[in-house]
């Protein structure tokens, strides 16, 4: 076991890297979140996406409350080693806390951000009893 692959990553001043979660089949971009070395190592170990929550300053096991776990299929790194892609299977088909498949549901139209994706499940149902 070597941590060399982690050392090759260019972490930012906060020790983080942006991680894009992408549906491994459709290519749909689901979300962008952040990881530190521990989160990335754990993601590999547990074969699911585990992020670093910048707002809560703690590890965030995606799906821990909603059940919407992201099963890991592949990890990709870019040419300057400062961004990664997680190719994932999105359990439940919902990545966003608003109940949509993707967090990128706003599209710019005539200089307005317009929601273009449907809510698949009421967030109150998703997080029912988990608050």
Q: Is 128 in the site for a second copy (CB under 8 A)?
A: no
Q: Residue 5's CB: how many other CB atoms inside 10 A?
A: 12
**Helix (H), strand (E) at residue 52:** strand 50-53
Per-residue contact string for residues 79-108; x = within reach of a second copy by CB under 8 A: xx--xxx----------xxx-x--xxxxxx
| Number of residues engaging a second copy in binding (CB under 8 A) | 38
Cβ proximity to a second copy, 42 vs 96, nearer residue: 96
Alpha carbon 63 to chain centroid distance? 10
Q: Which of 10, 33, 14, 11 is nearest to 86 (CA)?
A: 33
Q: Which residues bind a second copy (CB under 8 A)?
A: 1-2, 4-5, 8, 18, 20, 22, 26-29, 31-32, 44, 74-80, 83-85, 96-98, 100, 103-108, 111-113
């Amino acid at each position: 076991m070597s941590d060399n692959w982690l050392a090759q990553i260019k972490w930012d001043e906060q020790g983080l890297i942006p991680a894009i979660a992408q549906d491994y089949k459709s290519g749909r971009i689901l979300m962008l979140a952040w990881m530190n070395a521990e989160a990335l190592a754990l993601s590999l170990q547990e074969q699911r996406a585990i992020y670093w929550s910048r707002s809560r300053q703690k590890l965030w096991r995606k799906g821990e409350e909603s059940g919407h776990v992201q099963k890991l299929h592949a990890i990709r790194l870019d040419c300057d080693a400062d961004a990664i892609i997680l190719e994932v299977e999105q359990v439940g088909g919902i990545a966003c806390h608003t109940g949509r498949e993707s967090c990128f549901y706003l599209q710019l139209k005539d200089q307005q951000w317009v929601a273009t994706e449907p809510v698949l499940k009421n967030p109150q149902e998703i997080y029912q009893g988990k608050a």
